[in-house]
Amino acid sequence: MKVLRVLLAPLLALPLTAAEPPAPEALASQARGLAGNLMLSLQGELFAAMKSGGPVKALEVCRSRAPEIAAATAMGTPWKIARTSQRVRNGANAPDEWEARKLEELATRLSAGEELSALEAWEVVEVDGRPAFRYMKAIGTASPCLTCHGSALKPEIASKVRELYPDDRAVGFAAGDLRGAFTLSRPL
Ligand code: HEC
């Protein structure tokens, strides 16, 4: 009987430990990894499209591929991944209340001297009465981004942006500005 209990003990312990939510740092590390993967895929696809078809073609690629690449990055994980910003091009990327608050926090921390590449924020929150983990990772503005997000867009790019996004607010950025953030969430 004693032997049986000894044998069973680890098995019985298993569901209990499995039900324990992972530590916030471990969740943040998962989210950081996924955000990094998404950034690499997006940039890879964007720069390839710029090179092969030019910026006007790349604009269309961005429009159709960005959400698909985000969904592919999250596939097989419990995470939802998207991009957001205080000034969005696509209204579908507009921040919710929590994201708006965190974006403001990231912007304040950036002006206080924090390194853009390391700017992130996370929190355990309730979504529809259930605990969820939410994470944001800042996206900086680099010089290649200015072709489509800067203050002096070429006329053909400006007119394509206007055509695809009549309510665009994602111009006028400078290199080093906070462009937005990757936003990730998962239920706990
Ligand atoms: C070829 C033009 C082009 C370039 C270059 C470009 N973007 Fe964009 N960007 C777009 C388009 C188009 C969208 C809207 C995508 C959509 O409809 O979801 C967008 C959307 C975004 C968004 C999502 C929030 C929003 O405004 O809707 C972020 C964040 C972003 N871009 C960051 C960047 C960064 C960082 C770079 C440089 C590495 C960059 N972009 C370069 C065209 C471009």
Q: Is it the case that residue 111 has pLDDT exceeding 90?
A: yes
Which of 41, 45, 46, 62 for a ligand 1 pocket mutation test, highest count of atoms within 8 Å of Cβ?
A: 62
pLDDT for 57: 87
CA of 61 relative to ligand 1 center, distance in Å: 10
Order the strands of the 130-140 sheet from edge to edge.
80-84, 178-187, 130-140, 120-127
Kindly state whether residue 96 falls inside one of the protein's structural domains: yes
Asked if residue 140 lies in contact with residue 176, where contact means CB atoms within 8 angstroms, the answer is yes
Tokens 């053909």 found at? 156
Q: For 28-37, 41-50, 176-185, which range has the lowest pLDDT when averaged over its residues?
A: 41-50
CA of 62 relative to ligand 1 center, distance in Å: 7
pLDDT for 61: 80
Q: For 18-27, 53-62, 88-97, 127-136, which range has the lowest pLDDT when averaged over its residues?
A: 18-27
Average pLDDT over residues 62-81: 93
Residues with CB under 6 A from ligand 1: 43, 46, 55, 58-59, 62-63, 66-67, 83, 85, 88-90, 93, 139, 141-142, 144-145, 147-149, 170, 179-180
CA of 109 relative to ligand 1 center, distance in Å: 23
Higher-pLDDT residue of 124, 6: 124
Rounded-to-integer distance, Cα 58 and Cα 78, Å? 30
pLDDT for 130: 93
Asked if residue 119 lies in contact with residue 106, where contact means CB atoms within 8 angstroms, the answer is yes
CA of 142 relative to ligand 1 center, distance in Å: 11
Q: For 28-37, 53-62, 119-128, which range has the lowest pLDDT when averaged over its residues?
A: 53-62
Containing 170, the helix (H) or strand (E) segment is: none
Nearest CA residue ID for atom 34, ligand 1: 145
Q: What is the dihedral of CA 93, 94, 97, 101, to 10 degrees?
A: 90
- Written as one string, the DSSP assignment of 21-89 is PPPHHHHHHHHHHHHHHHHHHHHHHHHHHHHHHHHHHHHHHHHHHHHHHHHHHHTTSS-EEEEE-SS-S
Rounded-to-integer distance, Cα 158 and Cα 63, Å? 15
Higher-pLDDT residue of 103, 64: 103
> What's the whole-number average pLDDT of the chain?
91
Q: Which of 41, 37, 42, 33 is nearest to 145 (CA)?
A: 42
Average pLDDT over residues 157-184: 97
Kindly state whether residue 18 falls inside one of the protein's structural domains: no
CA distances from 98 to 30, 39, 105, 116, 173 (A): 20, 22, 11, 20, 23
Instruction: Give the number of other Cβ atoms within 10 Å of residue 131's Cβ.
Output: 11
Structural domain count of the chain: 1
Kindly state whether residue 10 falls inside one of the protein's structural domains: no
Tell me 180's DSSP state.
E
Kindly state whether residue 4 falls inside one of the protein's structural domains: no
Average pLDDT over residues 175-184: 98
Q: Is it the case that residue 64 has pLDDT exceeding 90?
A: no
Rounded-to-integer distance, Cα 164 and Cα 159, Å? 9
Tell me 171's DSSP state.
-
What is the span of the domain harbouring residue 32? 24-187
Average pLDDT over residues 105-114: 98
Global pTM value = 0.89
Average pLDDT over residues 92-116: 97
